[in-house]
Structure 1
Amino acid sequence: MISLSSHVLDTTSGTPVAGIPVTLTCPDGSQVTATTNSDGRCKEWPGITFAEGTYQVRFACKDYLIGQYGQSFYPFVDIHFEMTEDGGHYHVPLLISPFGFSSYRGS
Structure 2
Amino acid sequence: MSGRITTHVLDLAGGKPVVGITIELWFLGEGAESNSHNNNYVNQYEGAPKLLGTFETSHDGRVDQPLLEGAAVMPGMYELVFGAGDYFRRAAHLSAITDNIFDLIPIRFRIGDAGSHYHVPLLVAPGGYSTYRGS
TM-score (norm 1): 0.89
Give 1:46 shift. 6.8
Give 1:38 shift. 1.2
Amino acid at match of 1:45: L
The residue correspondences of 1:31-50 to structure 2 (distance < 5 A) are 31=51, 32-42=53-63, 43-45=65-67, 49-50=72-73
Structure 1 stretch displaced more, 66-75 or 1-10: 66-75
Give 1:92 shift. 0.5
Contact 1:25 1:55 in 2 (8 A): yes
Q: Which structure is larger by alpha-carbon Rg, 1 or 2?
A: 2
Give 1:87 shift. 5.5
Q: Report the secondary structure of 1:65's partner residue.
A: helix
Contact 1:34 1:44 in 2 (8 A): no
Consecutive unaligned residues of structure 2, counting only runs of 5 or more, are 30-48
Aligned residue pairs, count:
107
What is residue 11 of structure 1 aligned with on the other side? Answer: 12
Identity %: 35
Of Structure 1 and Structure 2, the greater strand share is in 1
What is residue 79 of structure 1 aligned with on the other side? Answer: 107
Structure 1 stretch displaced more, 11-20 or 46-55: 46-55
Amino acid at match of 1:83: I
Looking at structure 1, the residues matched to 9 and 111 of structure 2 have their Cα atoms a distance apart, in angstroms, of: 20
Consecutive unaligned residues of structure 1, counting only runs of 5 or more, are none
Structure 1 stretch displaced more, 74-83 or 27-36: 27-36
Structure 1 stretch displaced more, 5-14 or 23-32: 23-32
